[in-house]
A and B are shown apart, each in its own frame.
Chain A
């Protein structure tokens, strides 16, 4: 089906709920430009003070890893236990380390 009602492009919305917290993906909105995307995101996702910062990004610019390739893609970190502090042997009785 190829209906086009000019409902705008899809934008992904990220919200920072409090100062010093990372931005988190909350969903998406439709908009024809950046300003509209921001305002729509505000009206839709922060009606009750859920946010103190909003990012909107056109969905087409999100680059995502392919879940089907998770095994190979994340494999390089699987066997490197020496990247974790528990790998190391500390002298008996050592403190604050």
Chain B
């Protein structure tokens, strides 16, 4: 191989090999087999975080269900901040996408007659969540990955870490990336680029997210001139295992699990979520939306009705009444996880749980086809914000979102790339710049007194303090100042590892820089939003304020690298803002 700065040229370059990235790649290969597609991923595609999704994927298929109901549930779940045109497109295309996956071999759980089985899920009025036991994401990702192997036109760069997008004159032309194995820094060009880099849970200390979920794509886009949208909306999932933060899926509650406080009381009935009934009621009690359930937990803590654990207060998830048979056929992974990581058996014991950072509603601002304001740059999956999730995502809407908008972005990028020109020569210079930055500024820094892991710990603590389930203006402002200080400290942290090959200290440093960007955007957007909506709850502004804040927030990066927040109207089609009613 030559030592040229440009490693290869492709028509479409996809950054990320998770559910969204692979779906996009297949969509392109199927729409236009002439196009040359590449997928770059910092881990092997089947390691992507989609693999750990458990509960299921929503799509209207049951006879008693309608698209309008799915749309309404999603809109009210989003606290009316979702764009209704996007949600309509989403609900319409989700069933087809899930069927497509069925045709590609996804082992969906079935009814006795061989038809697809669906289960209930939080905030959904009908049973519409497709599932593959409780390893839905795992099966979806492996199905997509294995199916993608069939298309020879898809080139893969596995374990290659993207550090920068190449943009010239408002158009994207590719990316610079480090090959982890070799340590080589090279550009890979693409006429169109799709960011599918997943979530950013690692900005917080206690999260269900994997080590790789550092929001790289959001930061890449932000630095390349594309704004981030609705970054203040971070979802806390009500049921994570203490210490590890491993998720106990909402499907446990859909199958009939109860949340109990330390008195064995189903406390959700005290928070306007309906009355307890022995069998699960849709859109009620334990099947309410995640934002409301996580908030109820905080109030229980304040009332002193939670139990103590070495890792803070917990409540309990009770599955005992479901019986071994149901748990083993519908929730085997939950049992496996509890036995392994908590040494308890949910068939006989209560599971200790507490809210945990789970999902980023915000992300790279895109239109309904995944296009960002930067020509040729697209985004899809958790890293993007179309937005269908608004202020609060409903469980099981993310997996179908990956498919619907992954495919849409793929098709749009394919069309763009067919007409676009090859990369101009100036990008060579940009690539050279980036090589210099990485080699001199990051790798070349003397390891000083600062350590990357310490700064990361401090950032996570700052974010938990400033952007938790309940927030205040002063706390967010203080957090933003603390992050600015951490930015400065990062400039002094050196990389002790001088080896080229698999230098995970280098990638950790780059990821930390990305996360600091994201943390800043979360807090800046949060400060601007002086209301409480969905996952953004402010003690100093406890009510929703549709007059001032029925808007998205776009965070742009100023030339001096500071963030600037601007409003964007929400698209309303048929569902005017109303009250969110659960359990009534």
Q: Are A and B part of the same complex?
A: no
Q: Which residues of B contact A (CB under 8 A)?
A: none
Chain A interface residues toward B at CB < 8 A: none
